[in-house]
A and B are shown apart, each in its own frame.
Chain A
Amino acid sequence: DTGVSQDPRHKITKRGQNVTFRCDPISEHNRLYWYRQTLGQGPEFLTYFQNEAQLEKSRLLSDRFSAERPKGSFSTLEIQRTEQGDSAMYLCASPGQEFGGYTFGSGTRLTVV
Chain B
Amino acid sequence: GEDVEQSLFLSVREGDSSVINCTYTDSSSTYLYWYKQEPGAGLQLLTYIFSNMDMKQDQRLTVLLNKKDKHLSLRIADTQTGDSAIYFCAEGSSNTGKLIFGQGTTLQVKP
What is A's interface to B at a CB cutoff of 8 Å?
2, 31, 33, 35, 40-45, 48, 55-56, 91, 93, 95, 99-107
Contact = CB atoms under 8 A, between A and B. Distances in A.
A99 B94 contact: yes
Nearest to B89: A42
A59 to B, nearest CB: 11
B43 A43 contact: yes
Contacts of A101: 45
Secondary structure type dominating chain B contacts: strand
Contacts of B99: 33, 35, 43, 45, 93, 102
Interface of B: 4, 30-31, 33, 35, 41-43, 45, 48, 88, 90, 92, 94, 96-104
B102 A99 contact: no
Nearest to A109: B40
B1 to A, nearest CB: 11
Given A48-B96, A48-B98, A95-B97, A103 B45 contact: yes
Contact of A99 (B31, B100, B101): B31
B42 A102 contact: no
Given A40-B103, A41-B103, A43-B101, A104 B94 contact: no
B42 A91 contact: yes
Given A99-B94, A103-B45, A45 B31 contact: no
